[in-house]
Structure 1
Amino acid sequence: MTTIKYAGGPMTEAMYYVLLTLMNPSHGYGLMNEITEVSNGRVHMGPGTLYGVLARMQKEGLIVLTENDGRRKTYAITSEGEQALRQEYKRLNSLINDGEILKEGDLHD
């Protein structure tokens, strides 16, 4: 498989939750359940979306296949994937912090 370097920038919600749940290695079906749990039921990822994201992130070096027994493939986050996840977390926190202005009321009053 050819590795394509992850270009950085904002992640899709699917990418973010896959990396977040892969802080503990898991297999596809387990990931779908863990994503729903970690997102408090907000995100439900089907197999088509999940396996497309897994294939892309594997090519980009963000995750690695650690086990393949023919029936079940187990994935883990790489150090590059963890670094990208932490950068995205900081970016999302910045968005939240920038939004604090909304707590101060309407700017046009």
Structure 2
Amino acid sequence: MSYTSGPMTEAMFYVLLALVNPNHGYQLMNAISLVSNGRIQMGPGTLYGVLARLQKDGLITIVEDDGRRKIYEMNDVGRAALREEYQRLLSMVQDGISLRGEMDNENVK
């Protein structure tokens, strides 16, 4: 099985990035803030919606559920999807470098 749903949303990317280590919801919100250098502050509504989608898409699994909290873990499909998305984002940045000179010229004027 592989991920074929197209480009990830920013929220999906950061949730997977934070799931490099298994976590539960509250820990995930903190891990997302840390990994994004505070740029992303994800609330519970967004987080649990993304977790449901990632689970439905087969990218994460629940490894523990004590009835009070669930611990989520990225599986092999999720790791492959995260690496693929990372490569896609790197390619986009590379493509955008061609604008650097043009943008620098605009800032001088």
Percent identity over paired residues:
62
Displacement after TM superposition at 1:70 (Å): 1.2
The runs of at least 4 aligned residues of structure 1 exceeding 6 Å deviation read: none
TM-score normalised per structure 1: 0.88
Unaligned runs of 5+ in 1: none
1:28-77: CA deviations, max 9, x gaps? Answer: 00000110110001101100110011011111110000001111110000
Q: What is the aligned partner in structure 2 of residue 72 from structure 1?
A: 69
CA RMSD of aligned residues (A): 1.6
TM-score normalised per structure 2: 0.88
How far apart, in 2, do the equivalents of 1:94 and 1:59 lie? 27
Q: What is the aligned partner in structure 1 of residue 81 from structure 2?
A: 84
How far apart, in 1, do the equivalents of 2:80 and 2:30 lie? 24
Q: What is the aligned partner in structure 1 of residue 22 from structure 2?
A: 25
Match of 2:92 among 81, 89, 95: 95
Paired residues, what number? 103
Q: What is the aligned partner in structure 1 of residue 53 from structure 2?
A: 56
Match of 2:33 among 31, 36, 42: 36
Unaligned runs of 5+ in 2: 104-109
Going by fraction, where is helix more abundant, 1 or 2? Answer: 2
Paired residue type of 1:30: Q
